A and B are shown apart, each in its own frame.
Chain A
């Protein structure tokens, strides 16, 4: 890929940026989940790799979190945008060269930022942990070039209307840039106190609500109709989804701080808006599941649909939890416990990862014009992700309920730690399964690029899945 950095734009083959992003994202996924598995081992066995500053839990935890968010999830999004946006506009990516540079600078900046975090050089603000100069780098060399490329591709499209997926892409890159710049502004202007604490969570919430959730959903709006051949069930429900995301998902930030001394009106407002998240959620899930009508056999037979529909169905428990756990009636019990950790992994490792995984599988095969090297390994990947994640989610949910009970009955904390121990071991086993699945995935995609059967012109990869 690096050889294209200094080529003329016309000489770079279409899809180069997307392939570059695709492989980068898989590599970050392997790194991120490897770190996750390592951290989980430390929670289960505290003297595992002990006595060195760099390998202590407090130095590794945030590296795991930001590696999966900025490396895996966001780069897989960029990958999807680099090939889906032009495909839906019946055009080429506005600038392949900008895309290649974007990916290159993204990898450099993220490696640098995570290294600093690893050494403990942090702003001390969760999810916006990067020190301010890394934030500036991310805004200037990661978010803005991506947003510009996506916008210019949509503007120079050769279709009349804009398809649902591209509304979300166009709005998402715009919103994430605003959210990133505004959310990190306390560091640039040295804002302090509760305003800073609240803005930290305003950022964390909106990155999820205006970037990760809608872009993951937008990918499903593409993959399901494309692979099944069914048209989207309803554009009107798509409208409802889009507008309710913008209105309802951008407002409940304060529900992350329900037990902090924020103004009460703000918490109540956030809580009500938080329940309304169910509107886009139900619109999205029903729209996608109804699109599957008559093609449900593909849920079993086809890898991309298997991933996508699993992700879509995970949005049901995800939003049921998300909508209600933040109300005062429930939040006092589960706030700050493993329940929330399980919920966060349901959003990022369950819902969103499965949707992006499908986009990366599908995109790499289409762009490389090569059939998947091994369907068996892809199924192995799917089941290791799903079973590993399920073990993780169930064990952390139980651990969270134990913690919640310990919290409200105010039992000595050490008894909670003792009671949680078996679930910490289960969490580590689940996380390690996810990591193992991803290593297999990286191998499978590498072999696909190297030795996959070529796809003839005019055929789609999934049509050939069972042919030799």
Chain B
């Protein structure tokens, strides 16, 4: 390295690469972290939990260690009727999302109100907690913030789970894990584009819709419809069930793989699912030998397909 030119060159190289990283990493990050989270962003991070890919709590991506989303129409402690709310239930040991652990990431205004009025600073993941999304104001601006209902209303996680029951509980966070693990996002984007897509796939996301979500699973190679608002277009569980089991049942031209293996071994009644029998009967139907396809088996309430459907239907 004896040449003078290489000394100059090495320094210039450092300036060029450092300058590039200043403009493309530091400046955008400062910009993006100064955005206040929207209601959508709060719903996403509270229903998905801490992280959506590989994590300590869920190393094999089975959907473990995630919160549950419960729709309540009665106050779980007084049993009085109330307007329907979504409660995000973190049982003891379920890690909190970034917004609770690092309230600063909620953005200006939301952080202060969530801490002062929502008392999220008092939440403790070893004891479990219940969170709600509330509408409030900060310095004249309307915003949505997180309320720690365990602190403000005394709602215990088990009370809320019992009050909701299985029918009103959605495994949205576990379902997002299925979405990532099964690679749904290799074909279905979660990003309606700003220049078009409004009519067919719905409104594109906004800057504050992502605070605290990880990963965002935008997808880059759209080979199938965008799913960001799929729950608003189609909320039929029956249709979803048939479509996941064998997409050709409801859409003969679909190139989506079959996700029948997400049913597991047993159906809702605990009976073993006869996949070979089903496929043989379906092949007869596809060959035109029978008039109707075989019935899709019901799914167990803790099956992976239930998680995935809960997630898909939560995409409003």
B158 within 8 A of A: no
- Interface SS of B by simple majority: loop
Residues in A with CB closer than 8 Å to B193 are 259, 332, 335-336, 407
Partner of A202, one of B24, B199, B258, B275: B24
Partner of A58, one of B20, B186, B194, B275: B186
Q: Mark A35-65, 1 if CB is under 8 A from B, else 0.
A: 0000000110011001111001111011000
B13 touches A120 (CB 8 A): no
Q: Mark A172-216, 1 if CB is under 8 A from B, else 0.
A: 000100100010001100111111111110100000000000000
B31 touches A47 (CB 8 A): no
Nearest chain B residue, comparing its CB with the CB of A191? B214
- Within B225-270, the residues touching A (CB, 8 Å) are 225, 247-248, 251, 253-261
A250 touches B20 (CB 8 A): yes
Nearest chain B residue, comparing its CB with the CB of A65? B186
A46 touches B254 (CB 8 A): yes
Instruction: Report the separation of the CA atoms of residues A141 and B50 in the bound assembly, to the nearest whole angstrom.
Output: 29
Determine the interface band of chain A, counting residues with CB < 8 A from chain B. Answer: 35 or more
B3 touches A161 (CB 8 A): yes
Given known pairs A59-B183, A124-B180, A178-B17, the reply for A261 and B206 (CB within 8 Å) is yes
Partner of B279, one of A51, A53, A407, A417: A51
Nearest chain B residue, comparing its CB with the CB of A269? B23
A256 within 8 A of B: yes
A414 within 8 A of B: yes
A378 within 8 A of B: no
| CB of B215, distance to nearest CB on chain A (Å) | 4
| CB of A233, distance to nearest CB on chain B (Å) | 21
Nearest chain B residue, comparing its CB with the CB of A120? B181
B127 within 8 A of A: no
B73 within 8 A of A: no
B183 touches A57 (CB 8 A): yes
Partner of B221, one of A46, A187, A197, A341: A341
Residues in B with CB closer than 8 Å to A62 are 183, 186
Nearest chain B residue, comparing its CB with the CB of A205? B24
Partner of A414, one of B52, B181, B251: B251
Residues in A with CB closer than 8 Å to B32 are 193-195, 198, 262-263
Instruction: Report the separation of the CA atoms of residues A280 and B59 in the bound assembly, to the nearest whole angstrom.
Output: 43
B122 within 8 A of A: no
- Within A215-259, the residues touching B (CB, 8 Å) are 243, 246-247, 250-251, 253-254, 256-257, 259
B3 touches A160 (CB 8 A): yes
Q: Which of A125-133, A305-313, A448-456 touches B? A: A125-133
Q: Mark B211-230, 1 if CB is under 8 A from A, else 0.
A: 11111111111111100000
Residues in B with CB closer than 8 Å to A160 are 2-3
B214 touches A196 (CB 8 A): yes
Residues in B with CB closer than 8 Å to A414 are 251, 253-254
Nearest chain A residue, comparing its CB with the CB of B262? A53
- On B, residues with C-beta under 8 Å from A are 1-3, 6, 12-13, 16-17, 20-21, 23-25, 27-29, 31-33, 35, 41, 45, 50-54, 59-61, 97-98, 105, 180-187, 189, 191, 193-197, 199-200, 204-207, 209-225, 247-248, 251, 253-261, 275, 279
Task: List 19 interface pairs A-B (beta carbons < 8 Å), by A numbering.
Answer: A59-B182, A124-B185, A124-B217, A178-B17, A192-B213, A192-B214, A193-B211, A194-B210, A195-B32, A197-B210, A250-B20, A251-B24, A254-B24, A261-B194, A262-B207, A266-B27, A336-B221, A338-B221, A413-B200
Q: Kindly list the 4 A-B residue pairs having the minimum CB-CB distance in the complex, ordered from nearest.
A: A58-B183, A259-B193, A124-B53, A131-B54
- On A, residues with C-beta under 8 Å from B are 42-43, 46-47, 50-53, 56-59, 61-62, 119-126, 131-132, 155, 160-162, 171, 175, 178, 182, 186-187, 190-200, 202, 243, 246-247, 250-251, 253-254, 256-257, 259-263, 265-266, 269-270, 328, 332, 335-338, 340-341, 403, 407-408, 410, 413-414, 417-418, 421, 424
